Amino acid sequence: MKRILVVCTANLCRSPMACALIQQRLLAAKLADPVVVESAGVWATDGSSATSPAIAVMADLYAIDISHARSRQLTDRAIQEADIVLVMEERHRRHIFHRAPEALSRVVLFSELAGKHDDIPDPFGADRAAYVATAERLAQGLEAGWDTLERLVQKHASAASGAQLLAAA
């Protein structure tokens, strides 16, 4: 089973939105191998709901219900189990590097999927327009970078399987 971990700061806005968009795309793709998509935050408090504006924007723009999403703190285990870790900001990548330097090759800035190198701004506390802009930026980035994400997941899942086989030998 392949795993994608989407990381932001508090796991209340960007990562639940991106996670839901990826899940929707995976359902539409009907891939042969199952892919688990989870989210976490570098400074999250476990169990908080996604923000009301994030829930509303995802429902209104993409007919996706993220009201069930609950925040969770990023853990070393989650990092280690992920084939790919998508981060919203460069500082999230640095945070993961300091926690788990061996995972750095699997950490990708979300915008890099589409060949860019930009942070996705956090809409927390902003107006609805900021949430709409974030959701649209995530959706457009995912559309432009879908092939890259598929390749990365496949590449790192294969590498992990090979490492598990070597460890078992």
- Residues assigned a catalytic role: 8, 14, 122
C-alpha distance from residue 77 to each of 29, 66, 93, 136 (Å): 28, 24, 16, 31
Q: How far apart are CA 119 and CA 44, in angstroms?
A: 19
Q: Residue 39 in contact with residue 7, Cβ under 8 Å?
A: yes
Of 68, 70, 69, 51, residue with least CA distance to 131: 51
Point out which residues pair with 107 in neighbouring strands. Answer: 85
**Would you give the DSSP letter of residue 112?**
G
